[in-house]
Amino acid sequence: MSTKNPRVAVVGATGAVGREMLKVLEQRNFPASEVVPFSSARSAGTKVTYMDKELTVIELKEDSFEGFDIALFSAGGSTSEKFAPLAAKAGCVVIDNSSAWRMDPKIPLVVPEVNPEDLDWHPGIIANPNCSTIQLVVALKPIHDKAKIKRVVVSTYQAVSGTGQKAINELETQVSRLFNGKEVVSDVYPHQIAFNCLPQIDVFLDNDYTKEEMKMVNETKKIMGDDSIKLTATTVRVPVFYGHSESVNIETVEKLSAVECRNILANFPGITIIDYPEKGHYPMAIDCAGEDDVFVGRIREDDTIDNGLNMWIVADNIRKGAALNTVQIAETLIERGLVRVV
């Protein structure tokens, strides 16, 4: 095995995120000696593109990970629960995009710009956070370091691609049927998504919050390494194909002006500021789709409290919210000499 030119498995390579992982590996010139795509038996034999070549997708089996250094997983929680331990046992470091391992205290939950040091204690499995959490913590980190965050109120406006290709197809079909005067059918979502907003992402829990909302609460505290941060979330699905948007209200211990906040964020890796209200320039999902950075705008002081800030955060949920962050974790493992299983 080579930790500088690792052999990489991409599990779930035929899905939207898996295909994007292959694209990101290529675009970032990831130093892989070989990239091999895997999927379930149903999708095995499918062709995917990597480095101007067509690769044949191989069926994932229990012994598939022999000889691999890194495995990028985006195949769902049940697949990860079964195969990630097998990969780690074979000496292959898993970076998993499902929710299966995120809140396991023995598994690091990592956004490289925020907590790369947590990779130092990985046991062979590393969790990639929820897409809406990733873009939030990238913006929160420099603010927390400077002024210590007390409380966050976040409302999300999340694209249908976060649910997968079937949801993208459902939005397209519903729009087409409505324009042609036909009745719409909702299979993926509980209600019509075209020209509508659904204040429900995932199932409702006993506390009347959704699973998605509690993911944001719990994952943010784990990534930031601070359980004292109070966070409440309302997550909403909107009729946008790619790009999650978030309205965020932050209360800090120390006073931070809008100008100071803007300067801090502008100098933080992975953030692009678009904040020119006088020109009507601010981040929008339609402009951020396909981009790597987290975009922040509408930065202003909340004058209803002593130390309050409001901002608007947008990122491509398939790239930074999934595929890109996964590849960045792999790059950081190489940089820190951590491509090994303890």
Active-site residue, from 92, 244, 261, 288: 244
Look up 197 and say whether it is catalytic.
no
Q: 311 pairs with which residues across the strands?
A: 248
Active-site residue, from 92, 131, 261, 288: 131
Buried b (16+ CB within 10 A) or exposed e, 100-109: bbbeeeebbb
Give the angle subtended at the CA of 128 by the CAs of 262 and 9, to the nearest 5°: 130
Look up 131 and say whether it is catalytic.
yes
The residues assigned a catalytic role are 131, 244
